[in-house]
Structures are given as structure tokens and as C-alpha cells.
A and B are shown apart, each in its own frame.
Chain A
Amino acid sequence: MLKRTAVSRREFLKGAAALALAGPYVVTSAALGAGDRPAASNRITMAHIGIGNQGSGHFGGMLGNAEAQILAVGDVRQWVRDKCQKAVEDRYGQAKASGEYKGCAAYNDFREIAARTDIDATVVAVPDHWHALVAIELLKSGKDVYCEKPLALTIKQARAMVTATRRYGRVFQTGSQQRSSAEFRKACELVRNGRIGKVLTVNVNVGGPSTERYYPEEPIPEGFDWEFWLGPAPWAPHNSERCSGNYGGGWRMVRDYSGGMMTDWGAHHFDIAQWGLGMDNTGPVEILPPDGKDVPRLTYKYANGVVMYHGGGGNGVLFTGEKGKVEVNRGYFKSYPDEIGQEPLGPSDIRLYASNNHMADFFQCMKTRQRPICDVEIGCRSVSVCHLGNIAVWINRPLKWDPVKEEIIGDPEASRWLDRPMRAPWHLG
């Protein structure tokens, strides 16, 4: 194996950052110091929008983040935002001689958070059908954004988020945090460096698409702004299961709000497949739904001949090459043969962007103005893979995809699924 491997621009920059001794010099707010907890005026000022299952994890972590100061919380459930506001004020109050702190505002409408000029960045963890609207409003208002995966409800919404990020010069981290886990990085580095030889297939083990769901109407709990929760989605009567944040159920399985497990877990595992294949700026060219005959499972074909299957074996993501296999999931790594995973990378091998903490990487990039490990473009491309699979399954026919123009070829009715008209007054900014 005498082939030398090139270092991409992004990898060079990240590698350089890893070697650098000097701290950041670019700041989003007045100053972002290093060392111990900075003075309040020097912390990164944060807001959290959507503080349910996933959002509460981010919120709890941020409360303990010495570099950050939470100035605002937003949620359409009054009891949630009140509780979070109190949590912030209690936590920060402990550091005050008076024991009191009144500096965290609570909002029902995210646009009021966007309008504030004293907030540097926002964590967005609302349901998927809201991601694009909330994030774009924040980007337009000059805020950096950490947005939960899957990036958006549609491919066009995801592309609009990329455009807005670039247009307004913002830093955008997609919450596909497996990119900040060593086992996934190792697997992808091995694949990218040809340790399994030419890649033949990838198996990605995630659940299936969302569907239309039918629920009986239930009373709207007091303090819950149901109309705002629905937002751009078609109107539907309230039902607690319809809007539950329950992983594996709830709104994640309703087509009007999410792409199901295909996008929810796909934004993790398909994302890793794209990373390992070096497809972060592109995607498959053909998508075939299962047909019960020649195509037993949802199948993607890339222009270079790699075939990717939805399911079909392996734990998490299974890369199969001419010389071996690499299998990776959370806390799990295995190579076949074992030696593939044991031999360390050489100095000239491709080293992927290394992050061991997704939120810390976001903070670092806010300071350096570099693109983070799961930049919005990556989030867009990964969720596009998921959505294309969903579309092919929903309409039950093969698709041809142009990953440069981001267009479905020769099927105008399938193309209508690339976006969804929003319920007025909402529109994609």
C-alpha cells in the first residue's frame, strides 16, 4: 500500500487547529476569554428554544457550562418555560451574594428571542417541522445556531438553512453528535484510508419512515399553545401522543412533523455512512424502494458504485470492502479481520476532523469562525439521504437523484416531496 493520501482543506485546517497553541481571537460577543469561568459579560450568551426530551439535555448541560450564560428560554408549553426559567435563575442565583438572579426571560414565540441583540447563540431542539423556520430566523438575526438533527423536514428546507448560514456568516452545528464520538471517527478513518479496500456496500440499521397517523381529539392542556406547536404543519386536533416527544413514537412518527426513524436515527447512522464514504458534499444518485422481488430492502446507489442498504445486517453501520469490514455503533466497534482496527493510522493517512464533544466543538467554532464538525451543509446532505429514502418508500418507486442540482430526475410528482407548502402565515424565509 504505497499510495499516499491527500489532506483536504478542511482536514488540514482542523489538524492545524489541533496543533496550535494559541487560543481563539475572534469572538461573537464582547469577549470570550479562556481559563476559569469568565466574567458574566464575557460569557457566550445563549438561548434555548424547545426544551423537551432532547432539548432538556442540552439545557441541563448548558446550565453547567462555565463559558455560557443562558439569557432566554423558549417553549410553547408554559409549564416547561417557567420551570426552565426558574432553573436558570436558581442556578445563577447561587453564585450571587444575594442568592437571587433575575436575568432569564421566558418566551412562547421564538421570534422574540431572535429579536434580542444580546444573545450570541441559540440551541434549537423543537420538533422537526419547526427546525428550518426557527433556525433561519435566528441566523438572519445574527445568531450562531446549534440545531438538533434531523436538520429539516424537507430537502429544500435544509438547503435554505445552508444558504441562510452562509449568507449571514454564521456558525451552524447540526446535532448529529455521533460525529463527536471516537468510535465513529475511527471507523470512518479506517474506511477513508482504504483499510477495508475498495468499499462495496454499507448497511445502515435504522427504523422506517413516518406515516399518516390518526388520533382522537383531546382537550388542549392549559398553558399549551397548540396552534403555535402546529405552526407550518397542516392543522390537526390536539392529541397528547401526536405531540409527544417520546423517542420512538409521538410526533417523530407523524409524517406532517417528521420523517420517522429514517430521519431521526438516519441523521445519525446515514450521516456516519456519508462520512465514511467521503460524501459530505454530495449524495447517492439512485434510490430504490423495496419491491418484494429484486430489491429486498431500500437501496441507495452512489455514482462511484458503492451500494448502501437500509438495514440488512450489522450493528449500527456496517461498511464492507474488498478486504474487510468495519462495523460501528454507539460504544461498539468491530473490524473484520480484527487487525484492521488494531493497526494505528500512519502520519500521512487521512485524519478526519476530530471532536470529542459536540457542544464544545460548537463553542470553539463560534470563537474561531471555522465550520464545526457537523456543519449545516453536512446536516443537509445527510438528512437528504434520509428524505430521499422516505420519498422512494412513500411513493413506492425508484428515484434518480442529481446531488449537484439537488433535483429528482424525470419524476415531477416525486419532486413535489422535496418541499411542503407551509400553513399560513408561515413561510420559508
Chain B
Amino acid sequence: MKLSTLLCTAAAVLLVGAGLARAAEADAGALLKELKGEAEPVKRSAAELEAAYAQALASLLPDMASDDLKKRSDSQGDWSKICLRAGRPGAEDDRAAACKAMLPKLGADTPPLTRVWLIRQLQLIGKGESVAALVALLDDKDALVRESARRAVQANPAPEAGQALLAALPKADSPAWRVAIINACAARKNAAAVAAIAKYLADNDESVALAAAAGLGKIGGAEAAAALAAAKAKATGKLLPVVLDAWLLCADQFVADGKKDAALPIYDALYAANNPDRFRIAALRGIVLVKGEDAVPILTEILTGSNARLRGIALSFMREVPGTGAAKAMAALLPKLAPAAQVDILNELGSRGDPATKSAVLAAAKSDDAGVRVAALKALGGVGDAADIGTLAQATAAEGPERDAARFALDHLRGQAVDQAMISALASADAKVRPELLRSLASRRVAAAVAPLAKYVEDADAATRIEAIKGLETLGDEKVAGLIIRAIANAKQDDERQAAEKTLGAICARAADKDAAADTVIKAAGSATGQAKASLLRALGKVGGAKALAAIKANLKDADAAAQEAAFRTLADWPDGAAAADLLELAKTETKAANQVLALRGYVRLITVGNRPVAEKVKMCQEALAAAKRPDEKRLVLGPLADLNTLEALKTAAPLMDEAGVKEEAASAAVKISKKLGGRLPAEVKDAMEKALTITRNDRVKKDAQDVLKKVAPAKK
């Protein structure tokens, strides 16, 4: 054969080989995509699935221990995705196939890094099929592989995994490994392991004995509890507290399993014994959980005893005891306790709201200690009833916390009878009590109180009138609008008129027929003057709508200074965009500086109100900038402008970098806008950022500008 022929043949072979390799690569790529769930699945039999997973793993395996971290990350990551997907519900064949693909690769022929990674996947999806292979690794020479395998067996749900760990326990070749196996048995709560683990309670190696004690506590049950009870008599040093803790865990597990009779002797022993407080505390809680109200005498004894540390804990446990018995016991304790402790008990009684404790709470309300009185008054809100309305209303005559507590209680007394009793009490109440009742009726949201509240809007007593007016802010409707308008007109003091204005605004804002509500207020404003008219105009602002807006605009030139100012401010605070055009016009033409600024502020505020298209917002910013006369005003516009993300926004902000008084803010706005553009419009952004960098002194803005520049003009490599 000629050399040329040979060369041609060799080239052809190479080409075919390369083609086949590429085809195989493409096949593997397609398979990986499919198994990761990124491509349509192919229907396969169980055997075909096993072959597919094996093929996928084979394609990834070489890079799993690569020194090239990117390759390692990619291959491990791909296999992890495949395994996690294989573990999905209803795909048992996939899961088993993925595991079976890994099992032959766990041996010493595979690099340790890969073995550990595969074991970690088995920890997440392995079941019975993986146990034997993993258990074999418990004797592996590589410590990392061995420990990884232990964790995977621990997490494996198959019963044979537990049996294998138990079998491995006596064979452990070091105390550290024995501890590891005990931990795994305990984490599985393997009751069959109790006897084997209990043997190690007396192990010469302290770490093993400690692990055995802790493990028995985790497994729990009668056998474990008995082993720990026996060990406790002999344990000393570090072992004793671990044994006691474990015994306690057994008791807690008994309670969780409904075996209170088995738990109680353990708790009693731990509580009664001369143990450190921490065990006594835990045991005491157990006793409370088991005995419920029957534990109250023990808690009472502690609460009146001398152990300050236990007293605090006992009270926290007392809170966990439900029932009238506990509440009564706490109430009975009150006279025996120091004031601060009484406060705590009273708080608890108030939150329980057991009427059986009312008399004790009432007695405490007469305490010499101010803190106790406050707590008792507040607790009365929980335990009291309609009969206590008078007491509480009178108590509001006090100052500070006592008044606040009495009000809180009035507002929280329970039952509809309370509402009716409060309404009935209005007629006979004196001038101090009546406002409190009115306030509380509103606070309690008593719908039936609208008529009584309305009745007192024109009362001779100012405090009564004001509370009635305030109450209607919460409860009133348009039917009382006329009454409130009269209250505005007839107000004898500023706070009364302000309250009425607020109430009118709230009523109108809630009105079903806004136009009718506006008509009522507009009509009243037409005949009002001075502060009353100003109040009515401001209330119109809460009504909103075209009619109200027209009325406000009509009053912008009112001869009455108060009315004119109110109209201006109301327009500036208008709740929606309907006022935008008028505000802009005023911002351009108003000659009074204060009004011009008000109008501009109002216009700028409206830029962000509602859901305007970005282009419209930019246009509004441009209009506002054109109307702005001073740097302060321009800075105001740059705020909303900076939140926009268009070239037009950038073009609006960028020239301001040349304007004295706003350079820094304009640079900041340009950077913010450019950040939002996210790499778009590189030329315009680049110019703006370079300019911003020459202007700003703010490090944060500088950094942001540099970051943006990197995006739009990356450095050449």
C-alpha cells in the first residue's frame, strides 16, 4: 500500500472517529439534559433507565475530581441535579436507577473526592438498594469516605440500614468511631439498639459513655429510661448531667406519647432530688405539663418561696397552666406577693379573662402601689363586665398610666351587654365621665352609638361635644354631615373645629354618593366665612371628585385670606392627578412665592401618584423643571426623575449637572437612572457617567457611576 493511501486511510479513520466521538458527546449531552428535566423525557423500561443513568454518570465521572474547579463544579452539579430529580415522587424507577448507577463507583478505584460526592447523593436519595454498598464503606480506609458513608446510612430510610449500624457498633475499631455509630443509631431512634448502646454507659472511654447516655435519651422508651435510671446512681463527673438530661428526654417522650404515668416519676425524681436548678426547672415544667392545674400548689410554693431564680421560672410555667383553678390560684396569691410580682400576675389574669378572678383584681385596683393599680385596672378589661363601667370611667379621671389603663379596660370589656350599658350610662353620667364613655363607644366601634353621639355634638359641655364629634369620625355617615357642618360653624374653640373638620372629611370620604356629599359641603362653604369656611374647603379635599375640585379652584381667589390659603393647600394636597394641570399652571404663573412653591410641590407629588406611563412622568418632570424658579425646587423634581429608567429621563437630568446649586443631585439622579438602564444605550450613558464622575463628591455615587461604566464600556482585555 502506498504511503499516500495509508495516510488517506488513517485520515479517514480519524475523521470517522472524531465524528463518532462528537456524536457520542451530543448523545451524552442530550441524555444529561433529559435526566436533568431540561428536555422531554424518553419512555424507557426499568432496565433501559438503569443503562441511561449509568451512561450519564459515566460521562460526568471523569471530571468529578478534576483539579479544574469549574469542571468539577459542572460535573458534580449536573449529577446532583439528576439525582435530585430522580428522587421526585412517582419516579421510583428513576431513583433506583440513579442509585444503582452510583453503587459500582463507590470503590477505591474511584477518586476519594468523587466517592464522597456520590455518597452525598445517596444520602439524599438512597434506599434499600444502597445499604449494602454503603455499609461496606463503614470499614473503608479513607476516613472521609467512611464518615460520609456513616451519614448516608444514618439517613437511609430502609430498616436494614438500622440493622447494619447496630451490627457495626461492637466492631468499631476506635472510641471515636463507636461514638459516631452510636450517634447514627440514636438519630434513627432505633429502639432495637437500646440494649447494645446501654452496655456502653459504663465504657472506660468517657466520650463513648457520654454518647451512649445522650443516645439513649434520644431513642427513649421504657428500656432506655430504665438503663438511664440505673446509670444515674453510678454516674459521676461529666457523665451525670448527660445521664440526667437523657432521662429527662425519656420523660418528655413519654408525655408526647401520652404515657404521663411513666413520665411523672422521672420528673418527680429530678425535681425533688438535690439536683442543680437547671434539671429541677426542666422537671418542674414536665410536672406542670403532666399535672396541669394540680401542679398549682407546687408553683405557688415556689412563687412565695425564697429561690429568686426558680420564682421567675415558676411564674412563666404558671402561665402555661390552663383552667379556672390556675387562675384562681394566681388571684389568691396576689396579697402574698411583692408589687412587681403582683403586676405580672395581674397581667396574666387580664389576658386570661376569667371572671372568677374579678374580685381579686378589683382589690388590687385599690393598692397603695401605683404600678399594681395600673396593672389591675388594665386587667379589669379582661375579667370585668358591665358592672365595672362606672369604676373604670371614674378611674379615667387620674393622670398618666392609670388613666390609660382605665381607658384600655373600658375599650376591652367584653360582651354586647357592655355596649348597651355604656350607652345607658350616658344619660346619668357627669361631665367628667360622659366624654370617656363617648370616647370608648367610638373606640369599641359600637354601631348603635351613632344616635347618642349625635345627641351630644351640641352639648353645653365642650369636652363632651368634642368627644361626640370625634366619635362620629369613626362611626358617623352622611346623615350626620349637616350636624357636623353646624359644629364647624358654631365651634367655640380651635380644637373643636379641627375635630369637626376631620370628622366631616372622614364621613364624606366614606360616603357612597360622593357628589351629594360634595354638594352638601360646597353649599355650606358658600355661606361660611373665615376659619369655618377654611375647614369646609379642607374637608372637600377629602371628598375628591370633579365637583369638589371645581369648588376649590373657585376659591383660589377668595377675598377671605383663610379661605384662599385653605383652597390653595387643599389643591396642592389633591389626592389624584385631576389637579395636576391646575397646579402646573399655578406653579408657572402664581406671583406669591409661597403659593407658587406649594403648587409646584403639589404637582411634583402627583408625578408618582397613580399608574402613569413612564413617558408621562418624564414629561411632568420636564414641565416641573421648567416651572421651577430656584435650585431647591429643581432638587425636588430630581427625586422622582431619578426613579425613572428611560433615555429621555437621563437626557432631562444630565444637563442639570451644569447648573449651579443642583449639580450634585443631578449627577446622583443621572447615575440612578443609568443604573436602571442596565447596560442599554451605552453611548449616552457613558457620556453621562463620565460627566457625573467629574462632578460628584459622593463616594457612593462615584462607585455606582464606575460600576455602570464597567457595564457599558468594559475594559479591553
Q: Is the CB of B147 within 8 A of A12?
A: no
Q: Mark A1-27, 1 if CB is under 8 A from B, else 0.
A: 111100101001101110111111111
Does any Cβ of B come within 8 Å of A329's Cβ? no
By a CB distance below 8 angstroms, the chain B residues around A141 are 278
By a CB distance below 8 angstroms, the chain A residues around B87 are 395, 413-414
Q: Is the CB of A22 within 8 A of B372?
A: yes
By a CB distance below 8 angstroms, the chain B residues around A23 are 340
Q: Is the CB of A234 within 8 A of B148?
A: yes
Q: Is the CB of A425 within 8 A of B252?
A: no
Does any Cβ of B come within 8 Å of A228's Cβ? no
In Å, the complex CA distance between A190 and B377 comes to 27
Candidate in A4, A212, A347, A417 with the most chain B CB atoms within 10 angstroms? A347
In Å, the complex CA distance between A7 and B351 comes to 9
Q: How many residues of B contact A (CB 8 A)?
A: 93
Q: Is the CB of A26 within 8 A of B412?
A: no
Closest to B412 in A: A7
In Å, the complex CA distance between A79 and B78 comes to 40
Q: Is the CB of A214 within 8 A of B187?
A: no
Q: Is the interface of A mostly helix, strand, loop or mixed?
A: loop
Does any Cβ of B come within 8 Å of A320's Cβ? no
Which of these binds chain A: B223-231, B313-321, B529-537, B706-714?
A: B313-321
By a CB distance below 8 angstroms, the chain B residues around A421 are 123, 151-152, 154-155, 184, 187
Q: Which of A412-429 contact B (CB under 8 A)?
A: 412-414, 416-417, 421-425, 427-429
In Å, the complex CA distance between A15 and B411 comes to 13
Q: Which of B357-408 contact A (CB under 8 A)?
A: 369-372, 374-375, 378-379, 382, 401, 404-405, 407-408
Q: Is the CB of A16 within 8 A of B282?
A: no
In Å, the complex CA distance between A285 and B184 comes to 31
Q: Mark B253-277, 1 if CB is under 8 A from A, else 0.
A: 0000000000000000000000011
Beyond A235-B147, A368-B344, A424-B176, whether A13 also contacts B411 by CB under 8 A is no
Q: Is the CB of B312 within 8 A of A28?
A: yes
Closest to A368 in B: B344
Does any Cβ of B come within 8 Å of A322's Cβ? no
By a CB distance below 8 angstroms, the chain B residues around A31 are 308
Does any Cβ of B come within 8 Å of A83's Cβ? no
Does any Cβ of B come within 8 Å of A37's Cβ? no
Q: Is the CB of B88 within 8 A of A397?
A: yes
Does any Cβ of A come within 8 Å of B338's Cβ? yes
In Å, the complex CA distance between A423 and B124 comes to 15
Q: Is the interface of B mostly helix, strand, loop or mixed?
A: helix
Does any Cβ of A come within 8 Å of B248's Cβ? yes
Does any Cβ of B come within 8 Å of A238's Cβ? no
In Å, the complex CA distance between A429 and B244 comes to 13
Q: Is the CB of B347 within 8 A of A21?
A: no
Q: Is the CB of B444 within 8 A of A348?
A: yes
By a CB distance below 8 angstroms, the chain B residues around A168 are 278, 281-282
Does any Cβ of A come within 8 Å of B464's Cβ? no
By a CB distance below 8 angstroms, the chain B residues around A30 are 308
By a CB distance below 8 angstroms, the chain B residues around A2 are 445, 447, 475
Q: How distant is A122 from chain B, measured CB to nearest CB, in Å?
A: 14
Chain B contact residues, CB within 8 Å of chain A: 37, 69-70, 72-73, 76-77, 80-81, 84-85, 87-89, 95, 116, 120, 123-125, 144, 147-148, 150-152, 154-155, 157, 176-177, 179-180, 183-184, 186-187, 207, 211, 214, 245, 248, 252, 276-278, 281-282, 284-285, 308-309, 311-313, 315-317, 338-341, 343-344, 346-348, 350-352, 369-372, 374-375, 378-379, 382, 401, 404-405, 407-408, 411-412, 443-445, 447, 474-475, 575
Given contacts A3-B445, A347-B443, A425-B176, 17 further A-B contacts (CB under 8 A): A21-B371, A25-B312, A25-B340, A26-B315, A140-B245, A142-B278, A169-B284, A347-B411, A348-B411, A367-B312, A395-B85, A410-B89, A416-B123, A422-B151, A424-B179, A424-B183, A425-B183
Chain A contact residues, CB within 8 Å of chain B: 1-4, 7, 9, 12-13, 15-17, 19-28, 30-31, 140-142, 166-169, 212, 214-216, 234-235, 337, 339, 346-348, 367-370, 394-397, 410-414, 416-417, 421-425, 427-429
Pull 11 A–B residue pairs with CB atoms less than 8 Å apart, ordered by A.
A2-B475, A20-B343, A167-B248, A167-B252, A167-B282, A212-B77, A214-B72, A369-B316, A425-B176, A425-B183, A428-B187
